[in-house]
Amino acid sequence: MEKRFVIARDSETILAGSLLLIVIYLTSLYSYLLFHSVIELFTIIVAAGIFVIAWNARGYINNNYLLFIGIASVFVALLDFFHTLAYEGMGVFSNQTANLATQLWVAARYLQSISWLIAPFFLGRKLKLHLQFAAYFLITGILLASIFYWHNFPAAYVEGVGLTTFKKISEYVTSFFFLGAIGFLLRKRQEFDPGVLRLLLISLILTICSEIVFTFYVSVYGEANLIGHFLRLAAFYFLYKAIIETGLVKPYAILLRDLKLSQDQLREQAVTLQIRNEALTRSEHQLREDAAILKTRNEELDAYAHTVAHDLKNPLSVMIATADIITDVGNLTRKELKEFLQQIKSIAFEMNNIIDSLLLLSEVRKADAPIEPIDMLRVAVAVRNRLNYMIKEYHGRVTLSDNWPTAIGYRPWIEEVWANYISNALKYGGPSPHVELGASTQADGMIRFWTRDHGPGIPAEEQTRLFTPFTQLGKFHKGGHGLGLSIVFHIVEKLGGQVGVESEVGKGSLFYFTLPADSYNEGTVNSPRRSTELLPETTR
């Protein structure tokens, strides 16, 4: 049934595309100027769309190929826009001739082909956006000035004669650059989703064909020019399929590929660890410990895979369904279209939060944090201010006690611990929740930090599973992904402390974590007077 649906959908796409090509061809018979403007405007819109997707996805992408192409496309589109306005018959510029439009065309193709040629070099490398913008502003400005102001750009078209040697050679040179871009793409093919790579290669091949065809026309309204623009239209259509449509309907093909690779690497590491365990001769006690660690890691790996497959697939399914609806824009009102786009944006934010949590969990498990004294009151106040939007949303309040001893830890990680505890207390603390924060010194030299809410409490049988990775507790689950308390557990354990919960049904919950005390600064960094000064009047 699904296969039949896909075949029917593909048939409809082919039929619609064929009808569109016929309509565009008939447009060329009626007015070649209109035909040329339609083709060029389509390529400009596609280029702008590439930039919008790449720019808004820059926080998720580790390889910078797409982002580099997106920024370059904006400046190529600017030159193509001037080329469209300068085309013979448009009458936009004074003393307008076919040579002006052809010069702008050559300038745009050089900028486009060189950008595609060097883009693969930024795979896996850090891209300095301000430098790229500055370079493209400078290059584009020089090209426009050489054509419109200095008039030293070589002639590309002579009336009655046709294309100049410079223009023909330029088409072959840019074709050679595009061919080089194909070679580099094939060398870096492991960095791309196979479907996306295939569409990019088709687009580049069609671009080369169009450039070669453009070397044969004599009249700007001739058949060779017509065929070249049809090939250019097809090239940008496949570029649209590769980046814009795939980036919207199947964002995991571009934006989440690194996450899938990380999952595969994690599986390989688990297999490698198991092989090493079997190969080494150890004591029976050590073997039991290793087996227990391996079992825990495998269980976390399965839970990790479930989170990636389930918690990311669900919003993706909604996004795909929404994208299918908005594909038929003609049947939607502006308000409906805005609501659907807002829905896609919300889902993308949800996916971003899941990915951020997974990345933080990976960082905590792998990285060693610098240990330093922490003014915990300042940290708690900063996190409370960060969550002010959530406090207002739940009509709650967060109060802090006065006495806050100094602890040892790593502030960025501790902020995430407080953020998880406070946000959970607000969500599960009942109507208009009141969340209390405090600290106390234990006899063993550890400091106990805690959050208390006055919500419905947690059953004893559920408390033992709270800090288990990727666990969601039945009726107490409110749309989370089971990562928050797991991150808290790994952070505190890495810093030498412990986590726990004290709760009774109907009497609220107290979540705590412990950290080593800073005995050197004890009583000097956080005196009660100084602590009080940090708190707003309403929460002292």
The predicted structure's pLDDT at residue 229: 82
Nearest to 314 by CA among 351, 277, 286: 351
CA distances 232 to 161, 185, 206, 390, Å, are 24, 20, 7, 50
Residue 430 pLDDT exceeds 50: yes
Q: Does residue 424 sit in the same domain as residue 448?
A: yes
Which of 191, 214, 249 finishes a domain? 249
Q: Does residue 205 sit in the same domain as residue 169?
A: yes
- Let me know: does 237 contact 206? Beta carbons within 8 Å: no
The predicted structure's pLDDT at residue 46: 85
Percent pLDDT > 90 in the chain is 30
Task: Work out the pLDDT band at 65, boundaries 50, 70, 90.
Answer: confident
Q: What mean pLDDT, rounded, does the chain reach?
A: 78
Question: Would you say residue 9 lies in a domain?
Answer: no
Of residues 436 and 469, the one with the higher pLDDT is: 436
Q: What radius of gyration, in Å, describes the C-alpha atoms of the chain?
A: 31
Q: Does residue 376 sit in the same domain as residue 362?
A: no
The predicted structure's pLDDT at residue 537: 36
Note down the domain range covering 135: 31-249
Helix (H, G, I), strand (E, B) or coil at 447: strand
CATH number of the domain bearing residue 228: 1.20.1070
C-alpha dihedral (304, 309, 310, 312), degrees to nearest 10: 100
Q: Does residue 380 sit in the same domain as residue 316?
A: no
Evaluate if pTM is beyond 0.75: no
> Which whole number is the average pLDDT over 38-62?
80
Q: Does residue 143 sit in the same domain as residue 90?
A: yes
Q: Does residue 424 sit in the same domain as residue 528?
A: yes
Residue 474 pLDDT exceeds 70: no
Q: Does residue 162 sit in the same domain as residue 310?
A: no
**Which tens digits make up the pLDDT trace of 271-317?**
777 777 666 655 566 656 666 666 666 566 555 555 555 566 666 66
Task: Give the chain's domain count.
Answer: 3
d(CA 50, CA 52): 6
Q: Does residue 268 sit in the same domain as residue 192?
A: no
Question: Would you say residue 4 lies in a domain?
Answer: no
Q: Does residue 208 sit in the same domain as residue 123?
A: yes
Q: Does residue 355 sit in the same domain as residue 389?
A: no
Which of 223, 249, 275 finishes a domain? 249
Percent pLDDT > 70 in the chain is 69
The predicted structure's pLDDT at residue 329: 58
CATH number of the domain bearing residue 393: 3.30.565.10
In this predicted structure, which of 179-183, 237-241, 243-247, 358-362 has the lowest mean pLDDT? 243-247
Question: Would you say residue 336 lies in a domain?
Answer: yes
Of residues 265 and 75, the one with the higher pLDDT is: 75
Question: Would you say residue 12 lies in a domain?
Answer: no
Q: Does residue 49 sit in the same domain as residue 126?
A: yes
Task: Work out the pLDDT band at 446, boundaries 50, 70, 90.
Answer: very high
The predicted structure's pLDDT at residue 140: 95
Query: What is the phi/psi pair of residue 220, to 5°?
Result: -70, -10
The predicted structure's pLDDT at residue 131: 92
Question: Would you say residue 51 lies in a domain?
Answer: yes
Q: Does residue 316 sit in the same domain as residue 244?
A: no
Contacts for 332 with CB less than 8 Å, ≥ 6 apart = 325, 326, 340
Question: Would you say residue 11 lies in a domain?
Answer: no
In this predicted structure, which of 65-74, 78-87, 224-233, 450-459 has the lowest mean pLDDT? 224-233
Which of 322, 349, 366 finishes a domain? 366
Question: Would you say residue 8 lies in a domain?
Answer: no
Question: Would you say residue 305 lies in a domain?
Answer: yes
